[in-house]
Amino acid sequence: GNSVTQMEGPVTLSEEAFLTINCTYTATGYPSLFWYVQYPGEGLQLLLKATKADDKGSNKGFEATYRKETTSFHLEKGSVQVSDSAVYFCALSHRDDKIIFGKGTRLHILP
Amino acid sequence: NAGVTQTPKFQVLKTGQSMTLQCAQDMNHNSMYWYRQDPGMGLRLIYYSASEGTTDKGEVPNGYNVSRLNKREFSLRLESAAPSQTSVYFCASRKTGASSGNTIYFGEGSWLTVV
């Protein structure tokens, strides 16, 4: 079945550091891929997405590229801020309308 | 815009009690979902509804029932609550069609404690 695996946290970085959160998936065909972010006490909200191979999603300085050959969708940001502290979820959506989420990666940014 | 609204936000139940979590969306979305979120487990799908009048089991349906009352509303019922159902519950909705790339929108969550 479809699945998403993302790096376990927590990840702790200093402000202005480079961020990578790894995400790989298992699915037949060509799913759509997403990154969602959850701030404390809130629901999840879309950060970025990509719907076909080699697409790059971007938002708020975050980027992720849909790599079919490595079944990956790693999240990157060149210079993180304290306000980026949150939990990040990688997810995929396929033909059966279910959306499968990874277990989440908690990110702490130190000033 | 209200988006996805779920109630109650907090609830404490005794083991064996029943309760219903309510969810409504005002975006005219076809699909609605109920997830639970537990530490270290991420989000797990309980039930989903691809359209009014249809419901399907997700990954962890045992102990829950759902009703898709109309296109706007999708409720989750715990018939006999157990401590293992202590969790944060999220309702979500999405427009569906030919593309699998549509965004899913979440409510703010319902914190449920079963003692």
Distance from CA of A51 to the nearest CA of B (A): 6
| Largest Cα span, chain B | 44
Quick check: bond before B8 cis, omega within 30?
yes
Q: Which residues of B touch A99 (CB under 8 A)?
A: 33, 45, 94, 104
What confidence score (pLDDT) does residue B99 get? 67
Nearest to A103 among B42, B103, B104 (CB): B42
A79, A18 contact by CB (below 8 A): yes
What confidence score (pLDDT) does residue B69 get? 86
Q: Which residues of B touch A93 (CB under 8 A)?
A: 100-102, 104
The pLDDT averaged over each successive group of 10 residues in chain A (111 residues) is 89 97 92 93 91 95 96 97 96 81 94 94
Q: Which residues of B touch A100 (CB under 8 A)?
A: 45
For B24-47, the pLDDT digits (tens) are 999 999 999 999 999 877 899 999
Nearest to A93 among B43, B50, B100 (CB): B100
Closest CA relative to residue B89, chosen from B75, B68, B69, B79: B75
Position with higher pLDDT, B81 vs A94: B81
Task: Categorize the per-residue pLDDT at B98 as very low, low, confident or very high, splitting at 50, 70 and 90.
Answer: low
Closest CA relative to residue A62, chosen from A83, A44, A42: A83
For A73-102, the pLDDT digits (tens) are 999 999 999 999 999 999 998 766 778 899
A48, A32 contact by CB (below 8 A): no
pLDDT value at B13 more than 70: yes
Percent above pLDDT 90 for chain B: 80
Interchain proximity B4–A43, CB inside 8 Å: yes
For chain B, what is the mean pLDDT? 92
A10, A108 contact by CB (below 8 A): yes
Closest CA relative to residue A74, chosen from A82, A84, A66: A66
Interchain proximity B42–A102, CB inside 8 Å: yes
pLDDT value at B21 more than 90: yes
Mean pLDDT over residues B97-106, rounded?
A: 78
Lowest mean pLDDT among A28-42, B56-70, B87-101: B87-101
pLDDT value at B19 more than 90: yes
What confidence score (pLDDT) does residue B41 get? 78
What confidence score (pLDDT) does residue A8 get? 85
pLDDT value at B83 more than 90: yes
Q: Which residues of A touch B94 (CB under 8 A)?
A: 99
Percent above pLDDT 90 for chain A: 78
